[in-house]
Structure 1
């Protein structure tokens, strides 16, 4: 990933509604969510959400697919992997022992985020 691609990606996430939309879609991988459901869950007008999803799509964070009368949006996990790899590619000068806490945190985060909250 080039620096300009990375800055475009980060720029797309620098707005609260877009970041919330991406996080919502990440929680609903791999099935994704219809645009209307995203708007409802985020309490955002449909036209406003459409503009935000377009920004995320241009930056590579989301993809869409028409299914019958709905447009289903999904997080682009490949893009997320490329962005994270870009961020950590120079981490700790390649010393895996120094990077271990970061890897552990990502592993712990991903396994705990899949659990449903308890009432």
Structure 2
């Protein structure tokens, strides 16, 4: 339950563009991996550390996520988000947390991997 609350705080921090709150959510060794499969725009490399991740999260919210709905879901037994717009599912995000900090974010944007969701 603590991990899910952490993900909710992550969404709220993105919505409000609260950079300090985003920084506080991530562990010092946090990573963000994005899989666009070369078919959609996604971060081209693995991001490391709270600063890089907070910058990405704020930018991604402004450019893309603010136009999508987010639904809290279980992904591989852990907390996650399902992102949709009028065209259907656009991404799935999975989080690794210890209930205090987010240690990893995995975002799948590759449409081939999202079929059937």
Pick 1 or 2: higher relative contact order, CA cutoff 8 A, min separation 6. Answer: 2
Range of TM-score over shorter length? under 0.3
TM-score w.r.t. length of structure 1: 0.26
TM-score w.r.t. length of structure 2: 0.26
**Greater Cα radius of gyration, structure 1 or 2:** 1
More strand by share: 2
More helix by share: 1
